[in-house]
Amino acid sequence: MIEILNEVVLWWHWMVFGLVLLLLELLTGTFMVLTLAVGAILVGVISFFMLISFNSELTLWIVFSLIGVAIWFKFLRDKSVKKSGQSNYRLDTLGRVTKEIKTNLRGEVVFDTPVLGNTTWVATSDEDIGEGERVGIVEVNGQLIKVRKNNG
């Protein structure tokens, strides 16, 4: 089987495979498939200039893909995310109080962009916040969001 693949798989097959993976990346938007696509295209370029076996091409693709994933996790992923309760995404999202929040009691906030899929949340605060005031997220605890006044 490998002998057949050595003769059948050419450099442009890797290029087409890489382009198909790029199209798949456009549909998913995860950036993980992007590393596989770049690895396949690199193998295609190397295979164009050097005659190497399919085993070597496959090994190169795996190595390039693993290096790409390692680079992604080490340098390129979003490190600005803060940890808070069960949520660690978009703590910089601002909202407007729709039901007054008294100190340590519940009120309601509508956020500018969805937080964990919802824009309207029950919220608490360590201070009194009047209706219509802008707030930012301090912490997410289950179905309850702790907020603070936005002074900016």
User: pLDDT per residue over 69-111, tens digit each?
Assistant: 898 888 876 655 444 444 445 677 899 999 999 998 999 999 8
**The pair of three-digit structure tokens given for residue 85, joined into one six-digit string:** 């309760």
Fold of 94-149: OB fold (Dihydrolipoamide Acetyltransferase, E2P) (2.40.50)
pLDDT at 93: 83
pLDDT at 32: 81
pLDDT at 116: 79
**The pair of three-digit structure tokens given for residue 87, joined into one six-digit string:** 């949520």
Tell me the whole-structure pTM to 2 decimals: 0.52
Distances (CA, A) of 69 to 22, 32, 76, 132: 15, 7, 10, 45
User: Distance between CA atoms of 142 and 152, rounded to whole angstroms?
Assistant: 27
User: With 0-12 CB in 10 A as exposed, 13-18 as middle and 19+ as buried, what is 67?
Assistant: middle
pLDDT at 80: 53
**The pair of three-digit structure tokens given for residue 126, joined into one six-digit string:** 């360590």
Distances (CA, A) of 135 to 21, 103, 114, 126, 139: 42, 14, 14, 12, 12
- Model confidence at 4: pLDDT above 80: no
User: pLDDT per residue over 35-72, tens digit each?
Assistant: 999 999 999 999 999 989 999 999 999 999 999 989 88
Q: Where are the domains of the chain?
A: 2-76, 94-149
pLDDT at 15: 95
